[in-house]
Chains A and B, each alone.
Chain A
Amino acid sequence: MAELRGYKELPIGAIPFRLSTDYKTGDWRALRPVVDHNKCVKCMLCWIYCPDMAVIWDGEKILINYDYCKGCGLCAHECPVKAITMEPEPTE
């Protein structure tokens, strides 16, 4: 520490200022959810339960945003018609 600062010089607090959407959590994933649109009954439970806001409803069908999906498998487990399956990540 170079010098001691009084309370008037200290900053008020830390302000996190960048949106966390810049940070892609998708690379945490080992298994990826894949939606079978023929089986999907559009009950929205995956959209409601997804902890990472990675399930998106575009007005007609369910999309998965693989930028943020951490691959927990909650959507596949909660799907009442088993339209979502967890498949291994494709390897290049």
Chain B
Amino acid sequence: MPKQTLPQVPIKKGEPAYKLWIFEPGWKGELPLILNPRQLAEQKRPALLPGHRLCAGCAAPIIVKLASFAFRGPTIVVNATGCLEVATTIFPYTSWAVPWIHNAFENAASTGSGVEAAIKALKKTGRLPYDHVDVVIFGGDGGTFDIGFQALSGAAERGHDFLYILYDNEAYMNTGIQRSGGTPPFAWTTTSPVGKVIPGKQQAKKPIADIMVAHRIPYVATATPAHWLDLMKKVRKGIEVDGPAFIHALSPCDRGWRHGTELAIEIARRAVDTCYFPLWEWTPETGYMLTDRSLAIARNPSLKQPIEKFVEVQGRFKHLLKPENRELLKKFQEYVDMVWEDLLKRAVNTPK
């Protein structure tokens, strides 16, 4: 096999533009969590290399990239089947600069549990050359809400020390936009088409993060790539806690949500501004805590925007803007308000 080299890009200061994450045996300490963007650009390199074949403008690699800036040292990534897995590891290519494993669609959490158990066993017998190795699992919404839920629930119950990051693009985008448990009501997908009979998906979105809260695991949070500082801090907290942690990250998908390729971050921002996707974190000690923009909206409700702001930029919701469907839009607004009001009641840092 010929020796492979990473492309050389002239860099005057800082690390080379692309690098593999190699930790010498005996490596100790923790990688710092840098929050200054310029220092970040000089000192950190993402765990995902360019050349992956995710669609232009996909938010999943942004989530992976931001999460990898918060890794604290040697990390093993486990991947559920999904867009991220099929597009980053097309044989014989791999885009991962960190150790990576994929097994099957439904058992990402179980595979992660096994990796974590092996690390524990190696540590016990003194064969692990590092003082800590973290396990981070990336799963799509199909592999988490529906197919992989049993494995995730079991792994959370057994208390393995991993961080599960769900990048939620709200349908089975990889196979052609079929509805999943994560699809919001009234959204168009190929298996919940909009027509005379039904106006898109008729059921609600499964509250996966609340379900993980009900498991009483040490850390649960929601995040979006648009609020990148918030996402990085949450990933670091999730890695640092001892036990399972879960992060639900919204990942706008330009093919499935029918929006322009340049709008992924804008839509994630609008999802938070309209309270469609509130940002919060939960730990058993503190309870629900609103963070970042959602906390600002709770303090000043005039910042909350109507759901039209979120709907108007997406083709999957375009039927909601027709005059005859005004009733549906009202229903959608009521659904979003219901979820938001419920969260405000439970959050401990809501201004009273």
Contacts and interface: CB of A to CB of B under 8 A. Distances in A.
A8 interface: no
A53 interface: yes
Contacts of B233: none
Interface string B70-93: 000000000000000000111111
A70 B52 CA distance: 10
Interface of B: 1, 4, 6-7, 9-14, 17-18, 37-38, 40-42, 46, 48-62, 65-66, 88-95, 225, 228, 254, 260-266
A56 to B, nearest CB: 5
Contact of A73 (B9, B51, B95, B261): B261
Nearest to B103: A13
Contact of B56 (A16, A19, A28, A43): A28
Contacts of B56: 28-29, 51-52, 70-72
- Leading 10 A-B pairs by shortest Cβ distance: A59-B13, A72-B57, A73-B262, A20-B51, A44-B37, A70-B56, A68-B50, A16-B94, A57-B41, A72-B56
A16 B91 contact: yes
Nearest to B95: A20
A58 B12 contact: yes
Interface residues of A, number: 42
A37 interface: no
A71 B57 CA distance: 8
Contacts of A51: 54, 56-62, 65, 264
Contacts of A53: 18, 46, 48-50, 61, 65
Given A19-B49, A20-B94, 4 more contacts: A16-B94, A25-B52, A49-B225, A72-B254
Contacts of A63: 9
Contact of A65 (B12, B50, B225): B50
Interface in A2-56: 14, 16-25, 28-29, 42-45, 47-54, 56
A65 to B, nearest CB: 6
